[in-house]
Structure 1
Amino acid sequence: MLNKIDHIGVAVKNLENSLAFYESMGAKPYHFEEVASQKVKVAFIKIGESNIELLEPTSEDSPIFKYIEKNGEGIHHICYDVQDLGKALEMLKKDGFKLINETPLKGAHHKLVAFVHPKSTNGVLTELSMDEK
């Protein structure tokens, strides 16, 4: 069911400052977006077949703001592309995995996304995504 690693999400306090490392290594961001449902601004950087998603909170009640307050900046989640997100969530729930989102949300790049709780995935916050149909 997992097609590929879509991206690795990195929580940052400031997108512009955080882009400096990638730009100095020759990797330019190719997409910027604000995701209102998650209260973040994002920048995507293509590296090979995968992406790095930098996430800057837009509000103090953003999950990313709370994450940074608790853990500091750094890797927040890994995202896997799946063919059928609804079917994947149904299967995971049936198999006893703890879901943060039982129904998909609208994410960046016009994708549908849902998160699986890190307690079910060896401590790694896991995002599943698919292109919106």
Structure 2
Amino acid sequence: MFMRIDHIGIACHDLEAKIALFSDTFELTVVAREVNEEQGVREAMLHIADGEGGSSYIQLLEPLSPDTPVGKFLAKRGEGVHHVAFGVPDVAEAMERLAGKGVRLLDERPRHGSMGSEIAFAHPKDVGGMLTELVQAAGAPANVKTDRM
């Protein structure tokens, strides 16, 4: 089911400071910036590498307010890894497959994600305590079948 690690989401208090840190320290390049009102974040995607299954990124997330999911995460846990996102060929199919295995999903259907992707989240309690995101990249053909999982 998974083609690659699409991105690692990192919660932060100051997006610009973290962009500078990751750009200077790891020589990563910002490829996209967005404000996602629905998710309550300002974000930046920093390119890591390209692979056979697609590109991988670091996603820096700054909450728009303290009462957003990322704002609450920061208040409880501080800055750090918020979620791991896996690239999938078809997010709706991946959701069905996980639900069929008893994994609860936080989304009833795919929603808009970074850089035009379609995303959905799996409940952390059902996948080892890790907030897990499924990502179908923008322009990826839907309904691509895979026998892996």
* Residues 38-93 of structure 1, C-alpha deviations (whole Å, 9 max, x = no match): 01011111112320000000122211000000110100000011111111111111
> Among residues 116, 119, 133, which one is paired with 1:113 in the alignment?
119
* Residues 80-120 of structure 1, C-alpha deviations (whole Å, 9 max, x = no match): 11111111111111210111112111111111110001111
Listed as ranges, the matches of 1:1-133 within 5 Å are 1-25=1-25, 26-49=27-50, 50-132=56-138
Identical columns (%): 38
Aligned residue identity for 1:85? V
| Cα distance in 2 for residues equivalent to 1:10 and 1:89 | 23
Matched residues, number: 133
* Structure 1 residue runs of 4 or more that deviate by more than 4 Å after TM superposition: none
SS at match of 1:38: coil
SS at match of 1:128: strand
Taking only aligned residues, the RMSD between alpha carbons, in angstroms, comes to: 1.2
Aligned to 2:53: none
Aligned to 2:147: none
Which shows bigger deviation, 43-52 or 74-83?
43-52
Unaligned runs of 5+ in 2: 51-55, 140-149
| Cα distance in 2 for residues equivalent to 1:131 and 1:17 | 27
Q: Cα offset for 1:23? A: 2.1
Unaligned runs of 5+ in 1: none
TM-score, scaled relative to structure 2: 0.84
| Cα distance in 1 for residues equivalent to 2:104 and 2:97 | 11
TM-score, scaled relative to structure 1: 0.94
| Cα distance in 2 for residues equivalent to 1:43 and 1:53 | 6
SS at match of 1:65: helix
